[in-house]
Amino acid sequence: MRRDFILAGVILGLALLIGWRAPVFLTLATLDDIATDTAILAMMALAQMLVILTRGIDLSVAAMLAFCGMAAALVGQALPELPVGLLLILGPAVGLGLGAINGAFVAWLNVPPIVVTLASMSLYRGATFLLSGGLWVSSHDMPAAFREFPTERLFGLTHLVWLALLAVLLAYGVLRYSRFGRSIYTYGGNPSAARYVGIASKRVLFSVYAISGAVAGLCGALWVGRYGIAFTDAAQGFELQIIAACVIGGVSIAGGIGTVLGCLLGVIFLGIIGNALPIMAISPFWQMLIFGAVILAAVTINRQKGRAAKIILRPKTAEGG
């Protein structure tokens, strides 16, 4: 909890600092833009956190996003009469399948997650190319409703922001109160012990990758609608930003540690950096340098202090000493 306060403080300080250099940054319109812009990152980071909590990693998320986005866009192009809801369901449905492939390899064939998802990252990106034949689907080729859905407003906020808020609540509820959520922490904390207490480890592992795929699929459909373009290189390198958001938010790459709040703060942090640098008119090379330095600084400030949190029964003597 204390780490989250520090990170929140850093975010506030950063926002004020940027606002001081560029006052336009501290307006409601900018806040709205940042929220809409980071909504996809937030959903993707939360799904990635589930995977990282189980000591895994999913590098294929951006490729799944591109594939599902392309699939939804192509179907939308071919059948413009289709209701937008169906296209938005198609994304996660396809993503669920792709994620399940990852999950099957990790859970039942015992291939290390980094290997599985590194391979599938390339596989899904290649499949996107084959699916589209290398062509773009641009905004006017998609149904108008599909294009407009992500940025349409409900009670003042865009659909994207509402979906992200829903994802936050869902992730919080599941991780805190459901048996599945607690199993994820238990497995990540100690896989052997999890087996002894009767957790269906393989099913848990499979599920987190499948969920990651489904979320990437939903985000793919939203991404394509929002930016009005589906192409093979869509969201290239996005997986690194997603993982960075988790790590900045205090999710331990070693598994078992991480909270929804922390993850969300990590997302907001990256969202502010990503939107502030263009406004401040800084040279692109400085942008890259600042981006890297800031991540390193944030992770250092926010690092896990030892593994103390994992000691369930603290020896009495240690407390006294």
Partner 1 sequence: MTKFLKTASLAVIVGVLAMNSADAADKVRVAMLVKSLGNGFFEACKEGGIEASNELGNVELIYTGPTTATAEGQIELMNALIAQKVDAIAISANDADALVPVAKKAAERGIKVISFDSGIASGRLLQLNPSNASLIGQKQVQMALDAVGKAGGDVAILSATAQATNQNIWIAEMKKELAKPEFSSLKLVSTVYGDDQADKSYRETQGLLKSFPNLKAIIAPTSVGIVAAAKAVADQGLIGKVYVTGLGLPSEMKGHVQSGATKSFAIWNPVDLGYTAVYAAVQFTKGELKGKAGEKVPVGRMGTLTIDDKGEAAMAEPFTFDKDNVLKYAKYF
Q: Which is nearer to partner 1, 106 or 276 (CB)?
A: 276
Q: Which is nearer to partner 1, 36 or 302 (CB)?
A: 36
Residues 6+ apart with CB under 8 A from 153: 159
> Which helix or strand (DSSP H or E) is residue 5 part of?
helix 2-21
Neighbours of 308 (CB within 10 A): 8
Instruction: State how far the Cα of 98 lies from the Cα of 283, in Å rounded to an integer.
Output: 38
CB of 7 to partner 1, least distance (A): 22
Q: Which is nearer to partner 1, 30 or 183 (CB)?
A: 30
Q: Which is nearer to partner 1, 97 or 274 (CB)?
A: 274
- The single residue listed with the structure tokens 């290189």 is 233
CB of 229 to partner 1, least distance (A): 5
CB of 181 to partner 1, least distance (A): 31
Phi, psi of 201 (to 5 degrees): -55, -45
Instruction: State how far the Cα of 36 lies from the Cα of 148, in Å rounded to an integer.
Output: 13
Instruction: State how far the Cα of 107 lies from the Cα of 186, in Å rounded to an integer.
Output: 16
CB of 110 to partner 1, least distance (A): 29
Instruction: State how far the Cα of 43 lies from the Cα of 61, in Å rounded to an integer.
Output: 11
* Footprint of partner 1 (CB under 8 A): 22, 24-25, 29-30, 33, 37, 125-126, 129, 132, 134-136, 138-140, 151, 223, 227-229, 231-236, 238, 274-275, 277-279, 281, 283-285
Q: Which is nearer to partner 1, 89 or 282 (CB)?
A: 282
CB of 153 to partner 1, least distance (A): 12
CA distances from 309 to 252, 257, 270 (A): 12, 9, 26
CB of 260 to partner 1, least distance (A): 24
Q: Which is nearer to partner 1, 104 or 279 (CB)?
A: 279
Residues 6+ apart with CB under 8 A from 78: none
- The single residue listed with the structure tokens 């390339």 is 122
Q: Is 276 exposed, middle or buried (0-12, 13-18, 19+ CB in 10 A)?
A: buried
